[in-house]
A and B are shown apart, each in its own frame.
Chain A
Amino acid sequence: MGNDSDDLTAAMAQYIPEPRPGIEQRVLRHVRTAQKRRRRYWTLIPVLPLLVLLVLLLLMLWPRPVPVVVRVTPTRTLPLVGQAVPPAHKRHHREKVQPFPTPAPLTEEEKALQALAASRPQEAQQLLAHEDDKPIEIPQLQIPPLQSDGGR
């Protein structure tokens, strides 16, 4: 039994093989390389904010195209929610765009003015100019003093 135990101990001592020769050098090389790589990353850290600033400056100084504004006039109004949509042949009639201001027939005075401007344009111009050039006269305010009724 004791012999078996010794044999097993001896077998277990050889259970794990030897590493490939030069493992120490490979480990040290690996550590050195990893440290160098790490140092390189650290030196990049102060450079990064500078790069970001540079990009921001370039973006600010770069000429931008002027935006083109396009005005879109609505051609028709949408029906309100719940409102019945009229059939297509009636809808066409409704959607006629009304001019603003709404045209109305000329009054008698406007017709007379139009006739005067057509026959005697200079006089009509003078007449209109005089009326416009007149300075505005504001009559002096005359407010009578308040009269008391003796406390009544």
Chain B
Amino acid sequence: MRDAARESLLVTRFESLVERQAKFVFRVAYAVLRNPEGAEDVVQETFLKLYRNRAWEGMENERAFLARVAWRIAVERIPRRGAELPELVSQDANPEDALLTSDWMGAVHRLVDALPEELRQVLALSGIEGLNSREIAEVAGIPEGTVRTRLQRARQLVKQKLESMGRSACGK
């Protein structure tokens, strides 16, 4: 009887965890895969894994913990030769054209997509609310200093490209 009550309580707690964090886990998975279907699969696998091994019961920082689990699952699902990765880049032919048509946000996203994978992932994670450099380092399994360096480099590359595109757009 007591076991049944405890089980019921656990289920309720798990359901509320899913309600709270499903979208966050989706964002982390999407930052790696850039594919909504793949990201949702990762979310389902992450929560199923947590439910089965009951590791979620004793976690201290649930966002960091969930992000780490989701990150690992997503990284395992990255296509070997990056077949799915250029999806967003190929939607529109040229970021410069997008800039000309005042789709500035879209152009930035395409530039981010064109970054080297290690820089892109860190920059994408930095865009998720509540994840600071230390947490990104924990999630990606790299030193915090490396995260900062990569973030700086990624931002610099995007800005340079935006500036050169702006100049060429004005020139036209």
Q: Find out whether the CB atom of B36 lies under 8 angstroms from the CB atom of A19.
A: yes
User: Which of A13, A19, A28, A35 is within 8 Å of B18, CB to CB?
Assistant: A28
Residues of A within 8 A of B158 (CB): 8
User: Which of B14, B26, B127, B129 is within 8 Å of A23, CB to CB?
Assistant: B26
Chain A CB within 8 A of B63 CB: no
Residues of A within 8 A of B40 (CB): 19-20, 23, 26
Q: At the interface, is chain B mostly helix, strand, loop or mixed?
A: helix
Interface size counted on chain A using CB atoms at 8 A: 24
Q: Bits for B97-135, please: 1 = Cβ < 8 Å to A, else 0.
A: 000000011001100100000000001101111000000
CA distance A17 to B105 in the complex (A): 13
**Distance to closest chain B CB from A10 (angstroms):** 8
In A10-24, the 8 Å CB interface with B consists of 11-20, 23-24
Q: Find out whether the CB atom of B47 lies under 8 angstroms from the CB atom of A16.
A: no
Interface size counted on chain B using CB atoms at 8 A: 33
Residues of A within 8 A of B30 (CB): 16-17
Q: Bits for A46-80, please: 1 = Cβ < 8 Å to B, else 0.
A: 00000000000000000000000000000000000
Q: List 26 A-B contacts (CB under 8 A).
A: A4-B159, A7-B108, A11-B108, A12-B112, A12-B124, A12-B126, A13-B127, A14-B105, A15-B108, A15-B112, A16-B27, A16-B30, A16-B127, A19-B36, A19-B40, A23-B22, A24-B22, A26-B44, A27-B22, A27-B44, A28-B18, A30-B44, A30-B48, A31-B14, A31-B18, A31-B51
